[in-house]
């Protein structure tokens, strides 16, 4: 591993770590508060249903925004395997780097989920499920995949438009992408948990399994198929729309080997 890719690897790991730590931590905290008022029946809805999802969405969105401003100049701050794959298929990142990015993102997500358990305690697993995503009541497998597809499609279009396109206004990527994440979670949260990120789902699933929590793995394909297809379709769609106007790579300032 070159010095350059080591820095990118560590930036992606740290960024995804913070995303899962604070994002899923907010969901777990909501469930623990709910359980304290209604023992044995914890559910997101303590603030009035949509109010809970807006609060959780803002935590995710603000964390994404800050991580982009902190780590974007190092790795591009993908923080999401689906985004990395979308950039890979449009040749905005090479295959070797994309593999390192995805591994780093998954490790960061696992460490973030482990940290939620370490500072919130066993109830984060038994009551909060470590913020693991799952379809809502009455939501079919196909509906969940389609919802994740749409949410990630929107996210990837914004990434391409504000962070990749040469004509994008500088300085707005963080707030634009962060608020997109918040908007998607506020709308889709009650239906799928609004992962739109395979690593964000992988971390809590793995740690729930290792720590004796619920087994959600039957739902995992939802959060792989939907986001990856959504990101690929959006990346190609934007590349088509921007053809002739110029699409470039995300900033990669560290070129030392």
Structure letter (DSSP) for residue 251: P
Q: pLDDT tens digits for 103-131?
A: 999 999 999 999 999 999 999 999 999 99
pLDDT for residue 97: 96
Number of Cβ within 10 Å of residue 142's Cβ equals 10
CA distance 44 to 253: 42
25: its two tokens: 């931590």
CA distance 16 to 55: 20
**61 in Cβ contact with 179 (< 8 Å):** yes
| CA neighbor of 201 nearest in space, from 86, 106, 121, 126 | 106
CA distance 75 to 52: 32
Tokens 């603000």 sit at which residue? Answer: 62
Q: Is residue 251 included in any domain, yes or no?
A: no
Residue 12: CATH number of its domain: 1.20.1080.10
102: its two tokens: 């995805």
Q: What is the DSSP string of 53-76?
A: HHHHHHHHHHHHHHHHHHHHHHH-
Q: Is residue 134 included in any domain, yes or no?
A: yes
CA distance 155 to 172: 14
State the total domains in the chain: 1
Q: pLDDT tens digits for 64-117?
A: 999 999 999 999 999 999 999 999 999 999 999 999 999 999 999 999 999 999
174: its two tokens: 């963080």
Instruction: Supply the pTM of this predicted model.
Output: 0.91
91: its two tokens: 């040749």
**28 in Cβ contact with 52 (< 8 Å):** no
The pLDDT of residue 61 is above 50: yes
Q: Is residue 201 included in any domain, yes or no?
A: yes
**42: Cα separation from own chain's centroid:** 24
| CA neighbor of 185 nearest in space, from 60, 19, 80 | 60
SS3 245: coil
Q: Is residue 253 included in any domain, yes or no?
A: no
Q: What is the mean pLDDT of residues 129-147?
A: 96
Q: pLDDT tens digits for 6-51?
A: 999 999 999 999 999 999 999 999 999 886 777 766 667 655 567 8
Q: Is residue 254 included in any domain, yes or no?
A: no
The residue segments making up the domain with residue 186 are 3-241
Q: Is residue 256 included in any domain, yes or no?
A: no
184: its two tokens: 């998607």
pLDDT band at 168 (very low <50, low <70, confident <90, very high): confident
């Amino acid at each position: 591993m070159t010095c350059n890719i080591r820095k990118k690897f560590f930036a992606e790991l740290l960024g995804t770590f913070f995303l899962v730590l604070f994002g899923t931590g907010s969901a777990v905290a909501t469930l623990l508060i709910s359980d304290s008022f209604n023992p044995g029946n914890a559910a997101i809805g303590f603030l009035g249903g949509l109010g809970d999802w807006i609060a959780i969405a803002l935590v995710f969105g603000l964390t994404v925004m800050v991580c982009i401003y902190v780590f974007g100049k190092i790795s591009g701050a993908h923080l999401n395997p689906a985004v990395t794959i979308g950039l890979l298929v449009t040749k905005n990142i090479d295959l070797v780097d994309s593999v390192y990015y995805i591994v780093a993102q998954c490790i960061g997500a696992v460490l973030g989920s482990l940290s939620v358990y370490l500072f919130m305690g066993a109830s984060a697993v038994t009551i909060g499920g470590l913020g693991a995503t799952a379809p809502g009541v009455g939501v079919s497998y196909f509906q969940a995949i389609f919802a994740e597809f749409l949410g990630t499609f929107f996210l990837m279009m914004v990434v391409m438009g504000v962070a990749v396109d040469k004509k994008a206004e500088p300085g707005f990527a963080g707030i634009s992408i962060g608020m997109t994440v918040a908007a998607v979670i506020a709308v889709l949260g009650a239906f799928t948990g609004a992962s739109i990120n395979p690593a964000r789902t992988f971390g809590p699933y793995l740690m729930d399994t290792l720590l004796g929590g619920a087994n959600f793995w039957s739902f995992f394909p939802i959060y792989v198929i939907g986001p990856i297809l959504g990101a690929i379709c959006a990346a190609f769609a934007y590349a088509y729309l921007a053809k002739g106007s110029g699409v470039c790579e995300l900033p990669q300032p560290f070129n030392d080997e």
